[in-house]
Amino acid sequence: MRIQLQWDQSLKIGVAAMDRDHERLVAAMTEIETLNAKKADKPTIGKAIERLGALTVKHFADEERYMGSIAFPDLAMHKLIHQDLLAKFQAHAKAFAAGDGSVSEDFNNFLVCWLRAHIRGIDARYAQHAARTPAKV
């Protein structure tokens, strides 16, 4: 069964710029699912996947910079988690490119779980740290 994801308040971590990014990531993910459900052609879905990939790369870089600005002690670990997620995302994107043009349930569920678990469980930690330590920038 495919898991659905929509932006809601429970995904807010309380750092405005990062919340905006996360909302965009969720929208880009939802776009992929919508196109897939409409049976859009492969290049169109491929472009939407590329868009999510580009947004993700930029978001991870911005987020890592932000964590540096608040001297977040677990930055190195968080960076490793980002690298791992990106590698998994790229593997799924490659499988899509080699496939029949439909988004696999695996890919969809990976995106949903990644966004939900990473934002609520991992990103929430630097937000808690930020609440105690004001950013320098």
Number of Cα atoms under 13 Å in the Cβ half of residue 129:
16
Are 123 and 67 in contact, with CB atoms under 8 Å apart?
no
Of residues 97, 123, 127, 131, which one binds Fe ion by CB under 5 A? 123
Stretch that binds Fe ion, among 55-63, 65-73, 89-97, 128-136 (CB under 5 A): 55-63
Spatial contact of 67 and 126, defined as CB atoms under 8 Å apart: yes
Q: Which residue is nearest to Fe ion (CB)?
A: 123
Residue 14: CB minimum distance to Fe ion, A: 13
Integer Cα distance of 63 and 82 in angstroms: 10
Backbone angles phi, psi at 136, to 5 degrees: -85, -20
Nearest distance from C-beta of residue 119 to Fe ion, angstroms: 6
User: Mask of contacts with Fe ion, 4-43, x by CB under 5 A?
Assistant: ----------------------------------------
